[in-house]
Structures are given as C-alpha cells and as structure tokens.
Structure 1
Amino acid sequence: MEPLAWTVGQPREPRADAVRNRLHLLDTAREIIADVGADKLTMDGLAERAELGKGTVFRRFGSRAGIFQALLDDADRGFQESVLAGPPPLGPGATPLERLIAYGRSRFGFMLEHRDIARAALGGTQPLPMDGAVSMSRMHIRMLLGQIGIDGADLDLLAVQLSAALDGPLLLYLSSADLSDGVDRIVLRAGRGWQDLVQRVCRD
C-alpha cells in the first residue's frame, strides 16, 4: 500500500470577476469621497452606486473601515516603491540615519495627504497595529536601526515605538484647528519633530 502524499498547491488566484469587482468598488469609493467626503461613504451607498450587491462589498472588504484600509493600501504602493527603489535619501544610497529621517518626513506627508482615508481606516473594527503600511514602517525602521547600530538598545521594541509615531496616532491627535494653518506647515513641523527625535535616539 503506497503512503499518502500530502500535496500543497499554490494559493488560488482570485477569480477575474472578483478582481474586477474589487477595482470597480475602489474606483467608486474614490468617486464618492471626491463628491461628498469620506464621512459620507457607507457600505450601502457604495453597493448602490457601484450597482453591486451589499454581500459583494462585505466579501471584498469586511467592514466600512476595511474599504478605507484597502484605499490606503492601494495609495501606499507608490510610497513603498519610492522607499525600496527611489532616489536617496528616501531610497537606497544615503546613510541609514539620513534614510530614517527622510522616511519619517515623507511618511508624515503621505499620511496627512491621505488623512481622511487613514482616519476612517482606524475604525476600531480591526486589530491594531494594522497590516500593510504599519508593518512595512516597522520592518523598514528596524532595518535602518540595525544598520545605524545603537549600543544596548532593544531595536525590535524601538522600531515598534518609532513606527507608532508615524502611522495612525498622529492623525488621531490632530484637530481641524491644527490643520487650519495648512497641511504643508504641519508636515514641516512634524518632520522637524521626527528628525529631532531620531537624532536624539541615535546619538552615541
């Protein structure tokens, strides 16, 4: 009697219609946000405008916050490409400290540019930290900290603390009054604060 063979297949590719529906829903969500704002986007409204069943929306995203997380992940791909293969100091070619400073400055700018979507993605229906951008920040910061070399530091925990300073929490603490002077000014101030923090942490 031949022994049973356990065959692990490749993960199945999403069906073509599922991929089309997801892209259509994301495009429709962007249209709704552009027309009436992120706070007016609902699961029912998205399904109705996209002319798809509400069950399809739930299968694709799971929750209202899931829609915004998918939108944020989609926008984040370009940012990640700049980090991995773009010009220095954000991309490879600069010193680790220069890259760490540039990463924080650029990440603040990205998150504030997409602040309405990012805030809505923190809907309390998913565990924190979320996948995607947050874990990418943590891994990238951990790599740079290792290259810098900080004697006696718990680099894994330090990477968690620094990544937490970049994603999510800043958006929760910024009020409309904070943004009244303009997003560019907030990005500049946040970038200076990040540089000061990183230089103090990495000081010999």
Structure 2
Amino acid sequence: MSGMAQSGAWICFDDINQIDSEVISVVAQQLICITNAKNAGVDRFIFEGKMIRLVPSCAAFITMNPGYAGRTQLPDNLKALFRPIAMLVPDYGLIAEVVLYSKGFESSKHLAQKMATLYKLCSEQLSQQDHYEFGIRAVNTVLVMAGNLKQANPDQSEEAILLRALRDTILPMFLVDDADLFLVCKTECPAMFVWPHA
C-alpha cells in the first residue's frame, strides 16, 4: 500500500473476499489512512509510523464474488471506501471463442457457442449443488484443458478435443442422477451434442 501511495499507481485486489478477515482488516486500515490523506490534500503523511509522500492519483479497486463458499464478509470500514458496481454476466461464448482461437482452434466460434449453450443448460436443468460450478472459472478450466489437449493432439478433430475436455471436467463432479440426465441430453439433443467420441 505504501508503494501505491508513493507512486500514484492504481491497484486491484481481485477476489478480495477470499483473503482472511484478519488480513482484510489490515488492508482496510491502510486504505483508510491513504484515503484520509488524499481527502486532506497533503503531500506527505504518516503511514505505518513512517512519513511518506503521497501522489494523489493513487487508487485502489476491489473485485469480489459474493455467495461462493469460503468467502469472507468485508468489514464495514472497508465497504465504506468503495462504491459498489454490479457487473453483467460475462459473455461466455465470446470469451470461449477468443480463448479457443488463441489456442489454435480454427472452428472456435462454432465450438464456443456449443460450449456456452452447454453451460447454460447445465446451470438451468441440473440440480443445485454447492460443489457445482458453471461460472467463468469452470469455463476457463475447460478451455485450458482443451488447449493442452490440442497441443498434445494437433491432428485430432477439434470437436473431439473440446468434447473430451468438457467430459473430463464436468462429468466427475455430477451426482449420479445429474450425470444420467447429462448423458440423456447428450443422446436426445443432437443439435447440441453431435460431436464425435473423444
């Protein structure tokens, strides 16, 4: 935090509510100190017992995903420092298309739309379980695996590679009933699941 204040840098604490509450409290106190100095319009201020300079362009931002297991609640003194902004749900199809293309997939647009549709159907049709994850992290996990498989098997069908990445990532977390439903959908929704066997 001292470096941020003295350099005028912007910093972002990504997923701040994954940090232990004791650490978050320390961060909150440091940010309050810097914010008070900025509001006072001073060039120098005491930070953690040392006199340091202040470049007023410094700023801190935080991101968080509320509602996930293992996340801590932000202390009120930290909440007061930030203006909440609700973000839109990311466009999984576009993200998947760009990542697949960057990993060498030539049919990235077509495959990305299939993948996005699959994740949407899974989140809507399967049972609600705490360990199910159909968010952007889960999408990224599949994309990374697909990229690794593509690199290891450059001559294999791209659809087969993505299907294998999806199957190996998604299927192991399903309860038995949901796995059966997933496999039934695979059989009965040819427009969605007509992919060659991996």
TM-score (norm 1): 0.28
**Structure that is richer in helix per residue:** 1
Q: Which has the larger radius of gyration?
A: 2
TM-score (norm 2): 0.28
**Structure that is richer in strand per residue:** 2
